[in-house]
Amino acid sequence: MTDTPQRNRPENPDHATGDDSRNSPLTKRGGGDPATRGRTTIADGVVEKIAGMAARDVVGVHAMGSGLSRTFGAVRDRVPGGGKSVTRGVKAEVGESQTALDLEIVVDYGVSISDVARDVRENVIAAVERMTGLEVVEVNIAVSDVKLPDEEDEDQSEPRLQ
């Protein structure tokens, strides 16, 4: 009596039907698209940094934040390890799929405030939505000051001690 090798004997029922999807390089164990497994959360501070950088890129934005926050920021910038705060003048509320932003800006004298505000809104929305995938539902802009040409810049002033 001779043993005949049993080739083509399926080891699982899927192979009997010719369905070889479990070995497909596109499908992983656990099923479904890998991009849909798990959650991604984005911290308020991340959105604030993105928005702050995008707002500063707009021509006509001189600085971010109120006079008081800029004064404290100028002091913090001089402290070793303090660094510039990109989030100064930006507040974000982040939900699961949406975000809302409040920005406080200082504009240069002579620019159209409405044009600068529109450009800031467009730039911030584009950057935040592109980088985070969150829908930006609103960008509120408060213009707290106008930088006059003859005013000394708080961030550029000479330190009192040398």
In angstroms, the CA 78 to CA 153 distance is 15
Kindly give the confidence (pLDDT) of every residue in the chain, 162 residues in length, as a single tens digit, with 9 standing for 90 and above: 555 555 554 455 554 555 555 555 555 566 778 878 888 899 999 999 999 999 999 999 999 997 654 454 555 545 555 555 899 999 999 999 999 999 999 999 999 999 999 999 999 999 999 999 999 999 999 999 999 998 876 555 444 455
In angstroms, the CA 94 to CA 41 distance is 9
Q: What is the pTM of this model?
A: 0.68
Sign of CA dihedral 74, 77, 79, 85: positive
